[in-house]
Amino acid sequence: MATQYDIQLAVHLISSHFGNLVAKVCDCLLRKGTLTLANIIRFTELPSQQVKSCILVLIQHNYVQAYAMQQEVGFGEAPRVITQYTVLFYNILHRLRFAKFLAIVSEELDKECEEILEGLLQHGRLTPEQILDRAKSNQSGVQDSLRESFIKLVRVRFVERCPAPEPFLAPQSKEETHARKRGAKSAKKLNLHAGRQTQFQLWKVTKDTLWGHVLNEMYHSALNLSLRVAYELEQEQEIIQLPREKRVGALGSRFERLRKVRILLESSLMKLDDAIMVYNDF
């Protein structure tokens, strides 16, 4: 179940990297759930072409999955196939973990594998040809080496083939629907019989609800840290853009302060994200 702060964190991550329009479409899908293109346009009140472009960006970076499904129309009419879009929330959170992913690949494999992974993290989806084209040289030796590194990543399952652009979800049969309803009814209440006379019900803590509250607060903290990093960088843009030789005196002190604050905030965010991954049984 989506909560207040995990949605805000995801939207902030999308906005920081892809802009407000893409973030608005993402926010709509996070809050409304799976939608058709027409409904996304209706809820966001954005022009059709802008919505399509935003969805393409989100699909390219594996944050939205499109799928086709059969929809019943009316009596005597043939069913039609519609396309729906669903947001992949945890894929968005992975933007916080790019540095970790690169460090793991660099340590366990090699530098070329790290470079290939970095390209995929930056661009979302690439063909093998596009991956090889990112090499700085077109010499055959380099290309062969990159192919070997790509195969290494596939073998250890650090990269995988993208799903079909619009997989088709077949509708459930009537038998499957009735079986699911019967199963839901039979699981509503647990009665235990002790001897012949006593009937009692057992109760337990709803851990999922408590888990959700704790996780929501963790997302809230991650959001606050991300916003503070963005604020500090925005406030000190003038200092950041100065050449190193001009960062002297008071300007040098301001830059050093920013460096320390950024290290503190980003390391705190990284540790908090470690906790979120453990809490989510990553």
Query: Taking all residues of the chain, what is their mean pLDDT, rounded to a whole number?
Result: 82
Across the range 195-215, mean pLDDT stands at 60
Q: How far is CA 230 from the centre of its chain?
A: 19
Q: Is the pLDDT of residue 191 over 60?
A: no
State residue 187's pLDDT score: 46
Half-sphere exposure of 211 (CA within 13 A, CB side): 11
- The per-residue pLDDT for range 85-135, each reduced to its tens digit, is 999 998 999 898 888 888 888 988 888 889 888 988 998 888 888 887 776
The pLDDT of residue 279 is: 77
Of 118-122, 136-140, 158-162, least confident by mean pLDDT is 136-140
210 or 107: which carries more pLDDT confidence? 107
The pLDDT-based confidence of 168 (bands split at 50, 70, 90) is confident
Greater pLDDT, 68 or 75: 68
pLDDT at position 188, please? 43
Residues in the chain, total: 282
